[in-house]
Structure 1
């Protein structure tokens, strides 16, 4: 019997791995400040999603996913700075991945909230 793949966990892990790779590029270009911030926020998304998988209650689950969504927004901010700053590299693959993960998180949170009111 095979368990169904948890899409939000898979996508957040994919994001973290891409962020790590991109931050290595930033480090090689000596863009340490933004690289460090991006590494923290980008990997924190998945860490909070993983924590949510073992939440103590539905409210705790929703709270942890909301934190993940906030970290994702911060990640988007740092990526946007990289995109717009002429001396910084950008990583086009990360934009669609962050957007997709944001939509998934939003849907899970709204569904969980709706189901908790029943």
Structure 2
């Protein structure tokens, strides 16, 4: 997700920026899924701090996306 957000900082257009941020959002959802599996598994390590961090990152990315889409 970080690479996608970083790449979005140099978009060729507003639509390109939104597209790259949407990809980052999809990566966030995938990360949430893997953390969920780790949290509910006895065989994988889990760190509650990682879960909290991804939730904070997702709030930021979704806010950026919503603002970008609504001001278009």
TM-score range, shorter chain: over 0.9
The normalised TM-score by structure 2 is: 0.95
Cα shift readout 1:45-104 (whole Å, capped 9, x = no counterpart) = 000000100011111000000000000100111111111011211011111111111111
Indicate whether 1:66 and 2:22 are aligned: yes
Moved beyond 4 Å, runs of 4+? none
User: How many aligned positions are there?
Assistant: 72
- For 1:113 and 1:53, the matched residues in 2 are separated by 16
Cα RMSD of the aligned pairs, angstroms, is 0.7
Pairwise CA distance, 1:113 = 0.9
- Give the equivalent residue in structure 2 for 1:53: 9
State the TM-score, normalized to the length of structure 1.
0.59
C-alpha separation in 2, matches of 1:58 and 1:101: 21
Q: Is 1:107 matched up with 2:63? A: yes
1:107 CA drift (Å): 0.7
> Which sections of structure 1, spanning at least 5 residues, go unmatched?
1-44
Please tell me whether Structure 1 or Structure 2 has the larger radius of gyration of its CA atoms: 1
